[in-house]
Chain A
Amino acid sequence: MEYLEERDLDYIAIGAAVLGAGGGGDPYVGKLMAKAAIRKHGKVPLIKVDDLTDEQLIIPSAMMGAPAVMLEKLPNGGEPEAAFRALETHLGKKADAVMSIEAGGINSCIPIYTAACLGLPIVDADSMGRAFPELPMTTFGVAGLPATPMVVCDEKGNKLLIETVSNDWSETLARTATIAMGLASMISIYCVTGKELKDYGVRGTISLAREIGRIILEAHALKESPIQSILELTNGFLLFEGKIMDVQRNLTSGFVRGSVMIEGIESDKGSSFEMQFQNENLVGWKNGKPAAMTPDLITVMDRETGNPITTENLKYGQRVMVIGMPCDPFWRTDAGIAQVGPRYFAYDLDYVPIEKLAQAKEQG
């Protein structure tokens, strides 16, 4: 049996920020909680999807709302367990394992905290393989599985059980509750059977985040660049190398949309890159042509350290590398593209996989 230890959380947190594709929030708070819980309750068993029987019950645990708020109003620590137990009570069943719905950002670490507190194993999988902003944007949701029953819980002990007619309603109602709770909540959602997880989950994403993080931290120690090793591990592409010239942000329909202009250096000297984001990085344009687009992952990394930079932390003057990584094949189905493809985010673009865009670029 494999276990997650305190040291693994340092790796997972940084790897999850890479998989966050600019979003998902800084994993820092989740990492601190998970490390403290492992210190207190012991190591967390990390099990594979195939270790589960088809009938077993798995409940994902996550935070919802603005991760930036959680940097100030720190969690009580009891919320994830309370949400989890309330959902078990409602279902009249005990869960066999915890999982993550979102491999990118802070939600990589919260379920590990929950698992440590509950003494349950965590499954090496999630339902995005990255970060996305809305509850329906999971492989489970695309497969037609309901997000509810779900429980939303705050640090004061308020709990809300939600049952809805669609996943879009789950998003609307849970987010409204989260705003009333002070912009951040803990949720239990998308309970699945072992069979459903085997059919629709994105596998191996905790160990992937851990491996990416290990590469970055080991490269730090040697003062080397981790980028090449990360690209090999993720089948990714170096999209651009440059300096941030301008960052624009505005609030449209509530979510933060924005763009960042990058001017090329080294091999990209003379070229420019524009990245557009809405919480996550959505479309990257090199010299006016798309170089990568959602649902493929686009991540901006500090050129010197290889540390991922979230969209909230993009700043004028940063020297960066932009990398692109292919998303889970499930997202590339028609249903997946309809849910998270460029048109969903109002871009007049047909989805083209990143490897095809890279190939086209090579052929000039």
Chain B
Amino acid sequence: MGVARGIESGGDNDGFSMDQPDLLGAAASELNAPLVLLRQLSLALADETLGVDERRRLTEQLALTSERALRLARHVGSHPEDTFMRLALEPVNAMMLCQEVINELQPLFAAHGQSIVVRQRAKSPLLVADRSLLRRVLVGFGDNALHYGSGDKPVQLIVEANAQRVRLGVRDYGPSVPADMWQRLEGRVSRRAAMPLPRRPQASGVSLLKARQLTEMMGGNVGVTRHRDGATFFVNMQVSGQLSLL
């Protein structure tokens, strides 16, 4: 992949685990940012001097922020065992999935004056995953990218494939992430400190850890490639051999 100057971390299953009580504390912290914003936006709407346009804008912000809070709540609140029982692995078209992620996130990006695009490729590989679960993971990466991105360049969804695996990555142009990011996140969550990633302020990191947990349930793994001007969070999924059987 075209990130030779970056340093990769993660991507291997190194015994990651989270205790539920620790996770709850971190999850509550994760939801703090959108909930605070919801409260302030609703207070702002009570201002009777607001014009129609401003009121409309605030209403849109409220709707988008509440959707984000719901997404986060569902993501970090899902129980691994329940999720595993409902897991429906199937062949998934990588490019179509990316387009669905774009369709879901585009309004939120546009409202923030940012954009998210799929880097187009001629052929779309098939991978094996639970479609809705993988979509949730990618939407989570996209949401992270929105809130840490500088906004100068569009966030990109990138699909790469070789004979064994398909990699779906979300490239942002924000503050860099530390080389030992996963260890730091696990340390924070296990200490219930729920502190954010340095220089990436709005998250406790539990979303990323959850994404890793869910991806591993589907037989894939999660990693991050560091760039000088941002990061690419990615999932590696197994290639579907379905077409080779035809």
**A pairs with B:** no
